[in-house]
Each structure stands twice: as structure tokens, then as C-alpha cells.
Structure 1
Amino acid sequence: MSNQSAPNGSNNFQNIMNGQSLKQTNFGVSSQKPQQNASQRLSSLGPQNFSRQNSEHRNQSSVAIPKFNQSQQNHSLMFTSGNAGQQNNLNSGTELESMYQNLLYLFNPTSKEYGLAELSKRRDQHPELALVLWNSYGVMTILYQEVISVYPLLSPPTLNAQQSNRVCNALALLQMIATHEKTRIPFLKANIPQLLYPLLSTSNKTKPFDNLRLTSLGVIGALYDNPEVISFFFSTEFLPLCLKIMDIGSELCKVIATFIFQKIIADPGGFHYVTSHSKRLKTVVMILNNVVSQLVESRSVRLLKSVTKCYLRLADDPT
């Protein structure tokens, strides 16, 4: 996907705020287990289908892929009741095998939803899962397809809660990749965040759509602490989407979107981008004023703090 060019003036910026540039196009997890016959078919795939035959990627990830069909009898013979260290190793090995088994589930349509839910639910237990996802053959394509599959459901809005939860599980895994220091920049250079822009541009305020916006913002927010990200945001016109969510999103979406905007203008390049055109600055101030007026009802202290920091930063503009 190629980057869109940043507008020279402020007309495109205003058009996007009016919804003319983009077509309106750890949530609930499915508890449905895959069918037994699907699991038996998947077991024949073997772990070799996941590891890319690329020494450079293998050196970067340094994640050993266990053999799924390896008998556990050898482990049990090594364990004795007085050796807690060996028991911990056994438990760790079992968790790794479970993680890779869940990866295998992604390759079968009947078990994909269960695999996504389990990986998302257990992602905190496996800090290196981001490297495994990024370097496993075909897994990233599966995650892309999950995001793209809901595009037709965005406009007209027909997305239901189950479909939203499934995509949110895939987005949670993408957030892990965006957060990891070894995969963050490759993730950005692959223009993957642009896949989320249609999810961010929706105006529907129902819970399934709001969950999509919230989880997508989580992916974007995981990238913000790098100078390359600021340039990427401007070249792909993310800022109008961020301002739109600040205006119409739920309280939590507003908090995250305002926090991201605060980080954008804290950067000198972001500050210059916002303040260099009077119409663009006027639009930003108008959105911030709308957020403040809505605080009369919501009374969110977190949101008020972020908005106040944005005002203070914009006050540094000499004009």
C-alpha cells in the first residue's frame, strides 16, 4: 500500500474532517473450541511451516520453535518432586507448545477464530510473541485479511458484536508487533497502520464500531514514540482522523486520541505542521473547544488534563 501525499494547503485537511477523503467504510473473546477433526488435520502441518528459512530473521528473533509432536514422557522422567526448577521448565515448554498450536489454528477456517481469541488472551504470557508472529510464514497475511474482511460491513454499518470482537483480537496481536522494539519500524515501513484508517474513519457510535476505533487507536498509539512516526502520520493524513475521534468518539477513545495528538504536537515537526496554516490551526482549536464543551457532561479528568496540555503547547505559537 503506498503512502498518500500530505496536502500542501489546508483544503484537503478540511475535506477529510468533513468525511470526504475517506469512505465511511482485551475485548470479548470467543470461547468456541475448534472441532476435533480440524485439530487433527492441523497437527500434520508441523512447525516447519511457520519458521521462515531466512537466517537473518532467525538471528533477530532468536525464538526456538518446539516440536509439537514431541512426547512429554521424557520431560516427566526428568521431573522429581524435589526439583521445582525442572517443573517450571516443563510448564514453560507446555505453554510454548500451546502458543504454537494456537498459531496452527489460524491456518484453518474452522479454528481460526478460536486461535485468534486464545493468542490475544494469552499475549501477556509470551513477550516474544510479536517476533513469532512477524517471522512466521503466512501469519501476518492472515491478520491483514481479518482486518480487511470487515471493510464491507462498515458502510452501510452492519457490523455485529461477534465480528467486531474477532477483528479486535487480530488488532490486539498487531498492537504487540507495533509495540516490540524489533518489529515496530518494519511494521511502520510496511504501511500496515494504513489498513486501520477505514476503521478509524467510521462515525457509527454503537459499541462494535467504538471497539474497533478503540483497538485501532491502541495500535497507532504503540508507535508514537519514534520521530519517523510523526512524518508517517502527516504523509498519510492521520491527523484529521485523530481529531474526528476526539470530537465524536466515546470517552476512552477521546482520551487515547487526545493523548496521541498531544504527542504529535509535542514534536517540533508536528507542532510546525499544525500551526503553519491558519485554517488548520483553526480547525484544531475548534475540535479542542468541542471536547471541552462536552466535558460539562462527561467530566473526565483524564481527558481534561490532555486537552489542557494541548492548549498549553499550542500557546507556544508566536502568531
Structure 2
Amino acid sequence: MSNLPQSLSLNVPFGAGPSGVVPGGAGSAPAANKDRKMASAEQLVLDLSNTELRENALLELSKKRELFQDLAPLLWNSFGTIAALLQEIVSIYPMLSPPTLNPAQSNRVCNALALLQCVASHPETRMLFLKAHIPLYLYPFLNTGSKTRPFEYLRLTSLGVIGALVKVDDTEVISFLLSTEIIPLCLRTMEMGSELSKTVATFIVQKILLDELGLDYICTTAERFFAVGRVLAHMVAVLAEQPSPRLLKHIIRCYLRLADNPRACEALRHCLPDMLRDGTFSACLREDPTTRRWLQQLLSIVGGNRVSPLQSGGGFEHMMVN
């Protein structure tokens, strides 16, 4: 540790200009405050490489990550830091099956995941993060079946990292995710997760669908379309008993986007849940004009009344029969 430089960036002090001088001037109070914050951030990042200091560093950095400007490049470019975060993630794999993860272990790894979300969100590090295939390290957390709080917290925080990737529209991100098992993993969470986890997972599926590549992928085969449609329909049925306007908004947007595909639209004419047609959610959507408009558009496209498979024809049902 004593041989490591005080600054963790590759060439010049973090935040410095081409001349190596931090902008702002020594007499500037805001600049001095910024210098102190960055010095604190650098020390905490340095502590991540020390196993004895790591837990506290994870906690402090995750709590204060919004205060540290350009923390993501600092994390990415500092020696051994990403490896330390991945070590935290891999270390709890044995606790996933059988499920023995305790709250302290869950909190610690979620602090590491929060820092990875910071890296996934930053424009300078997002694609580097993706090209290193780091999201794959999170997939075991999304594949867990336990509904206990430690596992739910782990699932939700992992989804937050993926959500940070898809939040910015980028076909390259969607292409990478589609080459992995992200759709089945999100569908799994949409079925068995908490309301918040379901909401984030549905948001991820929505963002994938909104990309042409994602829509084509899901509508290429009947099996993929009906896998998504079955889970969405199940969620609608659950929401009729336990309403969640935020979750319902994402579900309706997914249906509306599916309707942009001609074969999917034909299938939706008879498999769209009746509860979306009969006013079940009128009260739930009373304060949400945007979602009400989406639902009206959806019903206008697919028809307000259920159509039998024989009447629709030419959609996915034809593929399934043959």
C-alpha cells in the first residue's frame, strides 16, 4: 500500500487539466472544497484495495457517491478497484444456494453494487463496463428464488445496475443484453419479486422493447412473445388485487410497444387481459393521464373487445399450430 501513489488516476491528478493543475485556483473556496472531496474520494477508493478497510470504504463511498464528481472514472481507472468490487460479488456466490445470505452480507455486497451502478451510469465508463462483461457477474443474483429481505435487496440493487445501462437509449447496450439471459431473468423477477423489483425489471424489459432490435428479438418467435405475454398478463391479474400505478404504467407501455409488431398485434387482439379492457384500473389510473392515454391507444389498436384466435389469424397462433 505504501508504494501506491496518492493520486489513483493513470496520468495526472484526478480532476486536473492538461497542465496537471486542478482548475479553480488555490484561492477559490469552491475549488478548495472540491479538492478536499476528491482527496477524500481517492483515499476511500484506495482503501478498497485493503481488505481490512474495504467494508467501511464501501459504505462511505456508496452513501456519498452523489457528492463525488466523476467518481465513476476514478473507480474504473484506479488500480485494482474493479477487481476488488468483483471479489466482493463473487465471495457471496456460495451463500446463494442453499440460500444462507444474511443481512450484513447483503448490505456489504449491495454497497459494492451501488458503486458498479455509478460506473454503469457514467458516459465515460458505461461502454467500458459493458465491454468487460461485468453485468454477467450480477446474473446469479437475479436467478435466486428466495423472497427474504437480504435476497430481495440484492436482487433490486442488481436490477438497478442493469437499469442504469438501459436508461440511456443505446442499441449497443440492448444488443449486449439480448446476447445474454437478461429477458428470462427479468421475467423471473417480474413474477416473484417485490413490487419495487418487479417495477425495475419491467422497466428494463420496456426499454429493451422500445429499441427496434429488442422488439424484433422478442417477436421473432411465438415462444418468446408468449413468454413475455404470459408474465405481463399474470402481473395484470395480481395488480387487480394489489394496485400499483407505477408498475401498471410500465406494463401498459410494454403492451403498447408490442402492438407495433404486426404479428404481436394480431395475437394481442385475443390475449390482452380483459381487465385492461373492462375498466378495472380506471380508479388506479385516475391521476395518471399519460398511462390512460397509452391504454386508450392500445385498446384502439388491438380492439376493445376480445377476438377469438380463429377470427384473428395470421398472428403467432398460426406459428404455434404449425
Matched, 1:142 2:100: no
Give the secondary structure class of the aligned counterpart of 2:262.
coil
TM-score normalised by structure 2 residue count = 0.75
Give the structure 2 partner of residue 113 of structure 1. Answer: 55
Give the secondary structure class of the aligned counterpart of 2:101.
coil
Give the structure 1 partner of residue 187 of structure 2. Answer: 243
Pair 1:316–1:91, CA change in 2 (3 A): closer
> d(CA) in 2 for partners of 1:236 and 1:251?
24
CA contact (8 A) 1:63 1:132 kept: no
Query: Which amino acid in 1 is paired with 2:261?
Result: D
Pair 1:246–1:161, CA change in 2 (3 A): same
CA contact (8 A) 2:7 2:14 kept: no
TM-align CA RMSD: 2.0
Query: Which amino acid in 2 is paired with 1:250?
Result: S
Give the C-alpha shift of residue 110 in structure 1: 1.7
Give the C-alpha shift of residue 144 in structure 1: 0.7
1:175-218 Cα offsets, whole Å, 9 max, x none, are 11111111111110110000100011111111111111111111
Matched, 1:310 2:262: no
Pick one of 208, 215, 220 that aligns with 2:150: 208
Larger RCO (CA within 8 A; separation ≥ 6): 1
Give the secondary structure class of the aligned counterpart of 1:124.
coil
Give the structure 2 partner of residue 173 of structure 1. Answer: 115
> d(CA) in 1 for partners of 2:14 and 2:51?
30
Number of residue pairs the alignment of both structures matches = 254
Please list, as runs of the form range in 1=range in 2, the aligned pairs for 1:85-100 lying within 5 A after superposition.
86-100=28-42
Runs of 4+ deviating beyond 6 Å: none
Give the structure 2 partner of residue 9 of structure 1. Answer: none
CA contact (8 A) 2:73 2:119 kept: yes
Give the structure 2 partner of residue 63 of structure 1. Answer: 15
Give the C-alpha shift of residue 279 in structure 1: 1.5
Pick one of 32, 35, 45 that aligns with 1:103: 45
Give the structure 1 partner of residue 125 of structure 2. Answer: 183
Q: Structure 2: where are the runs of 5+ without partners? A: 18-24, 264-322
Please list, as runs of the form range in 1=range in 2, the aligned pairs for 1:1-319 lying within 5 A after superposition.
44-48=2-6, 50-52=8-10, 63-64=15-16, 86-224=28-166, 225-319=169-263
1:239-285 Cα offsets, whole Å, 9 max, x none, are 10011111111001111111110111111111111111112111111
Give the C-alpha shift of residue 45 in structure 1: 4.7
Q: Structure 1: where are the runs of 5+ without partners? A: 1-41, 66-74, 79-84
